Amino acid sequence: MTINFTEPEERVALREAVKKLASKYGREFVEKQAREGGKMTEMWLEMGQSGFLGVNIPEEHGGGGGGMADLAAVLEEASAAGAPLLMMVVSPAICGSIIARCGTDEQKHRWLPGIADGSLIMAFGITEADAGSNAHSITTTATRDGDEWVLNGNKTFISGVDEADSVLIVARTEDAKTGKLKPALFVVPTEADGFTRQPIPMAWQAPEKQFTLFLDDVRLPADALVGDEDGGLWQLFAGLNPERIMGAALSCGMARYAIDKAVEYAKTRTVWKDTPIGAHQGIQHPLAKVKIELEQARLLWQKAAALYDAGDDFTAGEYANMAKYAGGEVACNASDVAVHTHGGNGMTVEYGLANLLVAARLGRIAPVSREMILNFVAMHTLGLPKSY
């Protein structure tokens, strides 16, 4: 496979169009919605109507027919404009990818067009309080009962459930031959009987909220199962690799936003005489360093996306993990440098950087911690013994 170091003209044009749209909203809109308990609905629907949310969805199902590299570019540009859309990581990337690759024709026709145009939002539920995102340890179960499935369990830190029409839940079914539990995916309507949610108060201010979910004897029809109950982990990673790629792109966009704000401030802020602070190496070098880190992280997510789009799932997984790690690091480093460049102004509401410090930290934690990524690279890439 050949990986170019320049993006195709179509993606460059896509980036410019997204930048123009997202800039109409920007940081001020996002902060207003977060402060007042609002949502990103207006921007989300305009992004969907413009074809940006579904660029990775097949054309026959209402999407743009592109790949994960295109969708990640959309999210990076929106984030760089100060208006990240967290649910892009979830609805079109995770859920859209899984349904497009593993769903039946009827499931694709039912859900993908709405995911593509933004009229339907699907959340994703894997994380549990005692298992984290370890699919081998989740305890939410799905049991057959005639022509139905019955789900029981709970999930935590699930994004945007209050905005979603349904949640793609990772549960475990029992193998009839061995009795072992194995992961399977179910679309659960948010209005289903027995499905309840509880918001989690977060210090990070964002329009998208986090929830704990409770599933108590939630009954679903047979066709709520996405893919094959015997399909194994590959079906799950059809969505988790895109999640990591999108997480990296989101973090890179946040880093770009922080660096741009810091550079702008450093060029105009003067303290001693008429020389801007950006003329001093103590300001220049930290900014130059995070710029280099940013370009490294961007190359990693672009390679991961190219591998995923080429169908090389395992290698895509390696690079998606590395990209997510690098993105989380540079987002934290860039936001810290940006705050420091602004001095006291960096901690004010007016300049909008303090909340970015908390938001950027998310990239080191979710959807998988940087320590687990280091474990993955050590074991699968370097061939070292399993350490956990």
Is residue 269 within 8 Å of 318, Cβ to Cβ?
A: no
Mean pLDDT of 103-131: 96
Tokens of 341: 């460049």
Number of Cα atoms under 13 Å in the Cβ half of residue 333: 18
Instruction: Say whether both 75 and 172 belong to one domain.
Output: no
Beta-carbon contacts of 273 under 8 Å, excluding residues fewer than 6 positions away, are none
Instruction: Say whether both 356 and 270 belong to one domain.
Output: yes
Tokens of 41: 């609905």
Q: Is the peptide bond before 183 cis (omega within 30 degrees of 0)?
A: no
Q: Write out pLDDT tens, residues 215-254.
A: 999 999 999 999 888 776 889 889 999 999 999 999 999 9
Q: List the domain range (segments joined by +) for residue 375.
A: 233-381
Q: Write out pLDDT tens, residues 174-184.
A: 765 565 678 89
Looking at 72, 89, 120, the residue that finishes a domain is: 120
| Residue 275 within any structural domain of the chain | yes
Beta-carbon contacts of 206 under 8 Å, excluding residues fewer than 6 positions away, are 30, 34, 86, 359
Tokens of 334: 């860039």
Predicted local confidence at residue 43, as pLDDT: 98
Predicted local confidence at residue 274, as pLDDT: 87
Give the whole-angstrom CA distance, residue 129 versus residue 184: 19
Tokens of 344: 């006291």
Three-state secondary structure call for residue 251: helix
Q: What is the CATH number of the domain that holds 321?
A: 1.20.140.10
Instruction: Say whether both 243 and 339 belong to one domain.
Output: yes
Give the whole-angstrom CA distance, residue 215 versus residue 229: 19
Instruction: Say whether both 142 and 204 belong to one domain.
Output: yes
pTM over 0.85: yes
Phi-psi region of 153 (alpha: psi -120 to 50; beta: other; left: phi over 0): left
State which H helix or E strand residue 106 sits in.
helix 105-117
Q: What is the CATH number of the domain that holds 157?
A: 2.40.110.10
Helix orientation angle between 281-309 and 68-80, rounded to the nearest 10 degrees: 150
Q: Is residue 119 exposed (0-12), middle (13-18) or buried (19+ Cβ within 10 Å)?
A: middle
β 122-125/166-174 pair status: parallel
Ordered DSSP codes for 252-308 = HHHHHHHHHHHHHHHHH-B-STT-BGGGSHHHHHHHHHHHHHHHHHHHHHHHHHHHH
Closest by CA to 91, choosing from 158, 28, 36, 180, is 158
Per the structure, the count of domains in the chain is 3
Predicted local confidence at residue 388, as pLDDT: 86
Is residue 66 within 8 Å of 240, Cβ to Cβ?
A: no
Mean pLDDT of 75-79: 98
Instruction: Say whether both 203 and 165 belong to one domain.
Output: yes
Mean pLDDT for the chain overall: 95
